[in-house]
Amino acid sequence: MSLLLLLSLLMQALVGLGALLLLGQARRQQPESWQGVLFASQLGFALAAASAASSLPAHWLAGGAWQEASAWLEQAHRLLGQPLLALAVLTLARHWHWSRPAWGRVILGLCAFFELFRQMGHLADYRLLLELGSLALLLYGGLLHGPSSRPLRLALAALPAFVGAGLVMHGLWALPAFVVPLLLSLAYGLLLWLLLSLLALQKPQE
């Protein structure tokens, strides 16, 4: 593993962990109506951090359970974590109050669709659909607050980083491997800022 790849994976893990902790602090100051979306956001960032952290030893250990676990976490990060974060942006932007059981059903639904498309042999198509849908929700969530709003500026800043990482992962942009976690670190930092900005705009529920 190159030094740049090591540092970029560490950065993604630290950004995800930092977001997890900051959202945990925010949860303690929020009413029950926002606990579900904040938990879902924490889960999304936790998967991003775990995926990057598990990739570090997996590069040195050939085969075995660790590499299988790393591959599983990477799939969970992309097929569960990223859609959850996009949905969190949407619900906060629309001022929707989804309960914790509702978020639980969302998580179960994403897991069920993953298994369905895996059994059908269309997992790559499903992954692409989820990635495009997540990007669309991110942009839509920013647009809901107007063309000159901070949420839109943050969404527009995060989008190129997510798109760039996706292009490299899909083999459509020939760049070194360390670029992906580097771009994702930037994207997740901006996404955290976006979520906290949207949370600050919420009005207390009557």
Q: What pLDDT sits at residue 59? A: 60
Q: What pLDDT sits at residue 133? A: 96
Those residues whose C-beta lies under 8 Å from the C-beta of residue 206, and which sit 6 or more positions away, are: none
Q: Report the 10 Å Cβ neighbour count for 190.
A: 20
For residues 115-128, b (16+ Cβ closer than 10 Å) or e, as one string? Answer: eebeeeeebeebbe
Those residues whose C-beta lies under 8 Å from the C-beta of residue 124, and which sit 6 or more positions away, are: none
- Report the alpha-carbon distance of residue 154 to residue 136 in Å, rounded: 14
Mean pLDDT of 1-11: 87
- Report the alpha-carbon distance of residue 192 to residue 85 in Å, rounded: 9
Looking at the predicted structure, is the pLDDT value of residue 32 above 90? Answer: no
